[in-house]
Amino acid sequence: MNITDQDKEILRELAKKYMSYATLPIQSEKRELWRSLNKLNMKKPMLAIDQMPWHELDVDGSLICRVENPYFRGVEWGLRMEIYKWEHLPADMVLNPYITLNRPIGNTGYGLAFQSERAVSDEKSNVYGYHFINQFEEPEDIEKLKDPIITINREAEADIIATAHEIFDGIAPFKMAGWIMHVGIWDFISQWMGVENVYMELMDRPEFMHALMERLTQATIRQIEQVNELGIYDINTNMCHCSYTFNDDIPGADCDRDNPTTKDGWCFGLAQLFSSVSPSITAEFEVPYMQRIFPYFGSVYYGCCDRLDDRLDIVDRMPNIRKISCSPWSDRENFAAKINPAKYIMSNKPNPALLATDSFDEDAVREDLRRTIKAAKDNGVCLEMILKDISTVRYEPQRLWRWSEIAAEETLRAAL
């Protein structure tokens, strides 16, 4: 792989700094706290922060990438992000004691691109809104969907590994990061059809929507089978959907770590647009299909921005779920009262809108956190809180840093 001496030096210096943090004793302490949470033996509510407005956060130039090699520029960006988070908003983050390198995995997808019209909401940040064009108007349109073809470029991977040895040997170990699957099929459908069209078809032509889900379920299972044949699933990042996955059971003792499969890792599923339909729609159009897909995985993180407190009994019908999202649109008290504490972790999403107001209200942040912690504690529920989907901090990164400090104070105060 063509990489300059200057690129190597930049990466080495970043790796040294990363490893100086990643080998601190507190990393092992945090890792064990996550491990306890994930086996439903919580020591304290756990915290993570992800999906941030990076274009608003640089205060000293430390987020400016300078590596020229395209692949290792991505590695550089990953190191810069992790170092920044550790230095400014660590919460309960854990730095792996090695650098992760993405495997060169190819995916043809379902053979159908999204068609949309774009509306600019913020030119500076490249944040956009979209109107999606319906591509499924007739039953025969379902035939547009193809089985994904999954590949890995072994030659390119060997080149990446050889170059990584040149750069990092003597400074930092590294591991290859495989694929984590997003099996929220309704996210894809909403972008192929437009959300409004999906709602209309669920009412007017339910048989058509079942046919669409059946085709996509078959294609997704074929995708899973190929991933497993290639042995390229992820077991090294210890993350899934912004949540830490440290666990004693996954991957299991029988895992072939050179060829991990979906049984050795986590996936995430969701049906976000179902927040605006009845729970019975989730039961009919999501559950039977995920009952066929989720058994392929070791564990499942379920939900995202969707409201789920009114249908937790329905979510319970799907197998292998370990964490369930409690978004700002869920009634958190109702969620904590209804979730089964013997099976699931409540993965709360604190409201990121509190970071976007005209002035940052620390009291409101503290009250929001305390309310969630109380709801979980009153019901004996294991709790993690993941601040994510942060669109803006009004170009005041200190708001995010302060949120991390307040959240750390409140979770330690609530330690069991």
pLDDT value at residue 118: 83
Q: Is the dihedral of CA 110, 111, 117, 118 positive or negative?
A: positive
Query: What's the rounded Cα separation, in Å, for the pair 367 and 76?
Result: 37
**Which domains are present in the chain?**
5-413 (3.20.20.210)
Each residue's pLDDT expressed in tens, for the chain with a length of 416 residues: 899 999 999 999 999 999 999 999 999 999 999 999 999 999 999 999 999 999 999 999 999 999 999 999 999 999 999 999 999 999 999 999 999 999 999 999 999 999 988 876 666 666 678 889 999 999 999 999 999 999 999 999 999 999 999 999 999 999 999 999 999 999 999 999 999 999 999 999 999 999 999 999 999 999 999 999 999 999 999 999 999 999 999 999 999 999 999 999 999 999 999 999 999 999 999 999 999 999 999 999 999 999 999 999 999 999 999 999 999 999 999 999 999 999 999 999 999 999 999 999 999 999 999 999 999 999 999 999 999 999 999 999 999 999 999 999 999 998 75
C-alpha torsion angle, residues 177, 182, 188, 189 (rounded to 10)? 160
Is-contact 102 123, C-beta < 8 A? no
Determine whether 357 is exposed, middle or buried from the number of CB atoms within 10 Å of its CB (0-12, 13-18, 19+).
Answer: exposed
Amino acid at 267: C
- How many CB atoms neighbour CB 113 within 10 A? 10
| Overall pTM surpassing 0.85 (yes/no) | yes
Query: What's the rounded Cα separation, in Å, for the pair 265 and 228?
Result: 11
pLDDT value at residue 123: 62
SS3 per-residue string spanning 202-230: HHHCHHHHHHHHHHHHHHHHHHHHHHHHH
CA 112 to chain centre: 24
For the chain, how many residues are written?
416
pLDDT value at residue 119: 77
Give the relative orientation of helices 397-413 and 362-378 as an angle to the nearest 10 degrees.
Answer: 30
Is-contact 58 80, C-beta < 8 A? no
Residue whose C-alpha is closest to residue 369's, from 392, 396, 350, 393: 350
Query: What's the rounded Cα separation, in Å, for the pair 127 and 123?
Result: 7
The pair of structure tokens assigned to 334 is 């109702």
